[in-house]
Amino acid sequence: MSVKRAARIAYLLLIYGFLYLPILVLVVYSFNDSKYSLEWRGLTWDWYQALLDDPDLWQVALNSALIATLSATVATVIGTMAAVALYRYRFFGKTLLNGLVFVLMLTPDIVMGIALLILFTSLSLPLGFWTLLLAHITFSIPFVVVSVLSRISGFDRYLIEAAKDLGASEFQTFRRVLLPMLAPAVLAGWLLSFTLSMDDVMVSFFVTGPSFEILPLKIYSMVRLGVTPEINALCTLMLGVTLSMVLVAQALLRDRGT
Protein backbone atom coordinates (compact mmCIF):
# COMPACT_ATOMS: atom_id res chain seq x y z
CA MET A 1 0.00 0.00 0.00
CA SER A 2 2.64 2.51 1.02
CA VAL A 3 4.86 1.51 -1.92
CA LYS A 4 1.97 2.16 -4.25
CA ARG A 5 1.40 5.48 -2.59
CA ALA A 6 5.04 6.47 -2.81
CA ALA A 7 5.04 5.56 -6.49
CA ARG A 8 2.01 7.67 -7.01
CA ILE A 9 3.60 10.68 -5.32
CA ALA A 10 6.78 10.21 -7.32
CA TYR A 11 4.79 10.10 -10.52
CA LEU A 12 3.02 13.30 -9.58
CA LEU A 13 6.28 15.03 -8.69
CA LEU A 14 7.69 14.01 -12.05
CA ILE A 15 4.76 15.55 -13.89
CA TYR A 16 4.87 18.78 -11.94
CA GLY A 17 8.65 18.85 -12.18
CA PHE A 18 8.50 18.46 -15.93
CA LEU A 19 5.94 21.23 -16.23
CA TYR A 20 7.21 23.76 -13.76
CA LEU A 21 10.87 23.08 -13.06
CA PRO A 22 12.13 25.02 -16.11
CA ILE A 23 10.15 28.07 -15.03
CA LEU A 24 11.40 27.73 -11.49
CA VAL A 25 15.00 27.50 -12.73
CA LEU A 26 14.52 30.63 -14.78
CA VAL A 27 13.16 32.54 -11.80
CA VAL A 28 15.94 31.29 -9.54
CA TYR A 29 18.67 32.26 -12.01
CA SER A 30 17.29 35.75 -12.35
CA PHE A 31 18.63 36.24 -8.83
CA ASN A 32 21.97 34.52 -9.49
CA ASP A 33 25.04 36.69 -8.89
CA SER A 34 26.94 35.43 -11.94
CA LYS A 35 26.92 36.84 -15.42
CA TYR A 36 27.87 33.86 -17.56
CA SER A 37 28.07 30.63 -15.61
CA LEU A 38 25.21 28.48 -14.52
CA GLU A 39 26.97 28.06 -11.23
CA TRP A 40 25.05 29.47 -8.22
CA ARG A 41 27.00 32.36 -6.70
CA GLY A 42 24.54 33.84 -4.30
CA LEU A 43 21.57 36.18 -4.35
CA THR A 44 21.50 39.53 -6.13
CA TRP A 45 19.05 42.18 -7.32
CA ASP A 46 21.58 43.45 -9.88
CA TRP A 47 19.78 42.16 -12.94
CA TYR A 48 16.54 43.78 -11.93
CA GLN A 49 18.47 46.99 -11.29
CA ALA A 50 20.05 46.70 -14.76
CA LEU A 51 16.58 46.39 -16.30
CA LEU A 52 15.39 49.50 -14.51
CA ASP A 53 18.41 51.43 -15.73
CA ASP A 54 17.90 50.50 -19.39
CA PRO A 55 15.87 53.32 -21.07
CA ASP A 56 15.65 51.39 -24.33
CA LEU A 57 14.01 48.46 -22.62
CA TRP A 58 11.60 50.78 -20.83
CA GLN A 59 10.45 52.20 -24.14
CA VAL A 60 9.84 48.73 -25.51
CA ALA A 61 7.98 47.69 -22.36
CA LEU A 62 5.79 50.78 -22.61
CA ASN A 63 5.09 49.99 -26.28
CA SER A 64 3.93 46.52 -25.23
CA ALA A 65 1.78 47.87 -22.43
CA LEU A 66 0.22 50.41 -24.81
CA ILE A 67 -0.61 47.78 -27.43
CA ALA A 68 -1.92 45.39 -24.77
CA THR A 69 -4.13 48.04 -23.16
CA LEU A 70 -5.54 49.33 -26.43
CA SER A 71 -6.09 45.94 -28.04
CA ALA A 72 -7.64 44.50 -24.88
CA THR A 73 -10.01 47.45 -24.60
CA VAL A 74 -11.14 47.40 -28.23
CA ALA A 75 -11.42 43.59 -28.24
CA THR A 76 -13.47 43.71 -25.03
CA VAL A 77 -15.95 46.19 -26.46
CA ILE A 78 -16.36 44.28 -29.72
CA GLY A 79 -16.30 40.86 -28.03
CA THR A 80 -18.90 41.83 -25.42
CA MET A 81 -21.25 43.22 -28.02
CA ALA A 82 -20.78 40.11 -30.14
CA ALA A 83 -21.53 37.83 -27.20
CA VAL A 84 -24.66 39.77 -26.29
CA ALA A 85 -25.81 39.65 -29.91
CA LEU A 86 -25.14 35.91 -30.09
CA TYR A 87 -27.21 35.42 -26.94
CA ARG A 88 -30.01 37.88 -27.59
CA TYR A 89 -30.88 37.77 -31.23
CA ARG A 90 -31.61 35.25 -33.90
CA PHE A 91 -30.05 36.18 -37.19
CA PHE A 92 -28.83 34.65 -40.38
CA GLY A 93 -25.45 32.95 -39.97
CA LYS A 94 -25.54 32.91 -36.17
CA THR A 95 -24.43 29.29 -35.86
CA LEU A 96 -21.67 29.90 -38.37
CA LEU A 97 -20.43 32.95 -36.48
CA ASN A 98 -20.50 31.01 -33.24
CA GLY A 99 -18.37 28.30 -34.82
CA LEU A 100 -15.99 30.80 -36.36
CA VAL A 101 -15.21 32.21 -32.94
CA PHE A 102 -13.81 28.84 -31.94
CA VAL A 103 -12.02 28.36 -35.25
CA LEU A 104 -10.30 31.68 -34.64
CA MET A 105 -9.21 30.54 -31.19
CA LEU A 106 -7.82 27.29 -32.53
CA THR A 107 -6.09 28.73 -35.59
CA PRO A 108 -2.32 28.24 -35.25
CA ASP A 109 -0.61 31.55 -34.55
CA ILE A 110 1.72 31.12 -37.46
CA VAL A 111 -1.21 30.76 -39.85
CA MET A 112 -2.91 33.82 -38.42
CA GLY A 113 0.36 35.77 -38.52
CA ILE A 114 1.01 35.00 -42.15
CA ALA A 115 -2.64 35.54 -43.10
CA LEU A 116 -2.65 38.96 -41.49
CA LEU A 117 0.69 39.80 -43.05
CA ILE A 118 -0.72 39.00 -46.49
CA LEU A 119 -3.80 41.08 -45.74
CA PHE A 120 -1.83 44.09 -44.55
CA THR A 121 0.65 44.05 -47.40
CA SER A 122 -2.07 43.61 -49.99
CA LEU A 123 -3.75 46.66 -48.47
CA SER A 124 -0.30 48.26 -48.53
CA LEU A 125 -0.51 49.20 -44.88
CA PRO A 126 2.94 49.99 -43.45
CA LEU A 127 3.84 47.40 -40.80
CA GLY A 128 4.12 48.94 -37.36
CA PHE A 129 1.90 50.18 -34.56
CA TRP A 130 -1.45 50.05 -36.38
CA THR A 131 -1.02 46.65 -37.97
CA LEU A 132 0.17 45.25 -34.67
CA LEU A 133 -2.82 46.71 -32.88
CA LEU A 134 -5.27 45.31 -35.43
CA ALA A 135 -3.67 41.88 -35.22
CA HIS A 136 -3.82 41.80 -31.42
CA ILE A 137 -7.46 42.92 -31.42
CA THR A 138 -8.24 40.14 -33.88
CA PHE A 139 -6.81 37.30 -31.86
CA SER A 140 -8.17 38.65 -28.56
CA ILE A 141 -11.83 39.00 -29.58
CA PRO A 142 -12.72 35.27 -29.43
CA PHE A 143 -11.45 34.99 -25.88
CA VAL A 144 -13.66 37.87 -24.78
CA VAL A 145 -16.64 36.41 -26.63
CA VAL A 146 -16.22 33.02 -24.99
CA SER A 147 -15.72 34.48 -21.54
CA VAL A 148 -18.80 36.74 -21.77
CA LEU A 149 -20.96 34.19 -23.56
CA SER A 150 -20.33 31.52 -20.96
CA ARG A 151 -21.52 33.86 -18.23
CA ILE A 152 -24.51 35.21 -20.08
CA SER A 153 -25.67 31.69 -20.94
CA GLY A 154 -26.02 30.99 -17.24
CA PHE A 155 -28.51 33.83 -16.80
CA ASP A 156 -32.20 33.32 -16.29
CA ARG A 157 -33.47 33.86 -19.82
CA TYR A 158 -36.43 35.83 -18.53
CA LEU A 159 -34.26 38.55 -16.95
CA ILE A 160 -34.26 40.63 -20.11
CA GLU A 161 -37.99 40.23 -20.50
CA ALA A 162 -38.46 41.19 -16.86
CA ALA A 163 -36.52 44.40 -17.43
CA LYS A 164 -38.60 45.29 -20.48
CA ASP A 165 -41.77 44.34 -18.63
CA LEU A 166 -40.84 46.88 -15.95
CA GLY A 167 -40.46 49.57 -18.59
CA ALA A 168 -36.81 49.45 -19.62
CA SER A 169 -35.90 50.27 -23.21
CA GLU A 170 -33.38 48.16 -25.10
CA PHE A 171 -30.53 50.44 -24.05
CA GLN A 172 -31.68 50.68 -20.41
CA THR A 173 -31.90 46.89 -20.29
CA PHE A 174 -28.32 46.63 -21.50
CA ARG A 175 -27.05 49.38 -19.22
CA ARG A 176 -28.88 48.43 -16.02
CA VAL A 177 -29.22 44.68 -16.22
CA LEU A 178 -26.92 43.02 -18.73
CA LEU A 179 -23.79 45.08 -18.26
CA PRO A 180 -23.64 45.03 -14.45
CA MET A 181 -24.30 41.31 -14.44
CA LEU A 182 -21.67 40.72 -17.10
CA ALA A 183 -19.07 43.02 -15.52
CA PRO A 184 -16.91 40.26 -14.01
CA ALA A 185 -16.79 38.36 -17.30
CA VAL A 186 -16.09 41.54 -19.25
CA LEU A 187 -13.22 42.43 -16.94
CA ALA A 188 -11.92 38.88 -17.07
CA GLY A 189 -12.02 39.03 -20.85
CA TRP A 190 -10.06 42.27 -20.77
CA LEU A 191 -7.38 40.82 -18.50
CA LEU A 192 -7.11 37.72 -20.64
CA SER A 193 -6.72 39.81 -23.78
CA PHE A 194 -4.12 41.95 -22.08
CA THR A 195 -1.95 38.97 -21.16
CA LEU A 196 -2.39 37.39 -24.59
CA SER A 197 -1.17 40.59 -26.17
CA MET A 198 1.67 41.02 -23.70
CA ASP A 199 3.32 37.72 -24.52
CA ASP A 200 2.50 37.17 -28.15
CA VAL A 201 5.58 36.50 -30.28
CA MET A 202 4.34 34.57 -33.26
CA VAL A 203 1.66 36.83 -34.73
CA SER A 204 3.55 39.99 -33.75
CA PHE A 205 6.67 38.74 -35.45
CA PHE A 206 4.91 38.87 -38.82
CA VAL A 207 2.88 42.04 -38.49
CA THR A 208 5.18 44.59 -36.89
CA GLY A 209 8.00 46.53 -38.46
CA PRO A 210 11.31 47.86 -37.19
CA SER A 211 9.64 51.16 -36.25
CA PHE A 212 7.73 49.65 -33.38
CA GLU A 213 9.36 47.17 -31.04
CA ILE A 214 7.56 45.22 -28.35
CA LEU A 215 8.77 43.25 -25.37
CA PRO A 216 8.28 39.63 -26.47
CA LEU A 217 10.05 40.29 -29.77
CA LYS A 218 12.79 42.22 -28.02
CA ILE A 219 13.42 39.29 -25.71
CA TYR A 220 13.36 36.95 -28.67
CA SER A 221 16.10 38.92 -30.40
CA MET A 222 18.09 39.26 -27.16
CA VAL A 223 18.03 35.50 -26.66
CA ARG A 224 19.75 34.95 -29.99
CA LEU A 225 22.88 36.41 -28.41
CA GLY A 226 22.56 34.01 -25.49
CA VAL A 227 20.39 33.83 -22.42
CA THR A 228 21.56 36.44 -19.97
CA PRO A 229 20.45 36.94 -16.37
CA GLU A 230 18.76 40.19 -17.45
CA ILE A 231 16.49 38.18 -19.70
CA ASN A 232 15.71 35.83 -16.82
CA ALA A 233 14.83 38.82 -14.71
CA LEU A 234 12.66 40.32 -17.44
CA CYS A 235 10.87 37.02 -17.99
CA THR A 236 10.30 36.64 -14.28
CA LEU A 237 8.67 40.06 -14.18
CA MET A 238 6.44 39.21 -17.14
CA LEU A 239 5.52 35.93 -15.52
CA GLY A 240 4.57 37.77 -12.37
CA VAL A 241 2.37 40.27 -14.21
CA THR A 242 0.70 37.65 -16.39
CA LEU A 243 0.11 35.25 -13.54
CA SER A 244 -1.47 37.84 -11.31
CA MET A 245 -3.73 39.00 -14.13
CA VAL A 246 -4.90 35.49 -14.90
CA LEU A 247 -5.53 34.88 -11.20
CA VAL A 248 -7.60 38.05 -10.97
CA ALA A 249 -9.53 37.04 -14.08
CA GLN A 250 -10.22 33.59 -12.64
CA ALA A 251 -11.34 35.03 -9.34
CA LEU A 252 -13.68 37.44 -11.11
CA LEU A 253 -15.25 34.67 -13.16
CA ARG A 254 -15.78 32.46 -10.15
CA ASP A 255 -16.88 35.19 -7.77
CA ARG A 256 -20.39 36.60 -7.62
CA GLY A 257 -21.78 33.71 -9.56
CA THR A 258 -25.54 33.97 -9.64
Binding flags for another protein, 180-209, as an x/- string (CB under 8 A): xx----------------------------
* 255 interacts with another protein by CB under 8 A: no
Binding flags for another protein, 126-165, as an x/- string (CB under 8 A): ------------------------------x-xx-xxxxx
Nearest-angstrom CA–CA distance, 255 and 203: 33
* 176 interacts with another protein by CB under 8 A: yes
Taking CB under 8 A as the binding criterion, the range among 55-63, 104-112, 176-184, 220-228 that sits at the site for another protein is: 176-184
Instruction: Check if the beta carbon of residue 73 is closer than 8 Å to that of residue 189.
Output: no
**Cβ proximity to another protein, 172 vs 250, nearer residue:** 172
Count the site residues for another protein by CB under 8 A: 19
Instruction: Check if the beta carbon of residue 197 is closer than 8 Å to that of residue 68.
Output: yes
**DSSP three-state, residue 157:** coil
**Cβ proximity to another protein, 9 vs 162, nearer residue:** 162
Nearest-angstrom CA–CA distance, 115 and 107: 11
The minimum distance between CB 24 and another protein, in angstroms, equals 41
- How many other C-beta atoms can be found within 10 angstroms of the C-beta atom of residue 30? 22
The minimum distance between CB 77 and another protein, in angstroms, equals 21
* 239 interacts with another protein by CB under 8 A: no
Strand partners, 43: 32
Residue 196 region by backbone torsions, left for phi larger than 0, else alpha for psi between -120 and 50, else beta: alpha
Instruction: Check if the beta carbon of residue 72 is closer than 8 Å to that of residue 194.
Output: yes
Instruction: Check if the beta carbon of residue 253 is closer than 8 Å to that of residue 185.
Output: yes
Q: Give φ, ψ of 43 to 5 degrees.
A: -80, 140
Taking CB under 8 A as the binding criterion, the range among 17-25, 65-73, 115-123, 174-182 that sits at the site for another protein is: 174-182
**Cβ proximity to another protein, 101 vs 177, nearer residue:** 177
Contact residues for another protein, defined by CB under 8 A: 156, 158-159, 161-169, 172, 176-177, 180-181, 256, 258
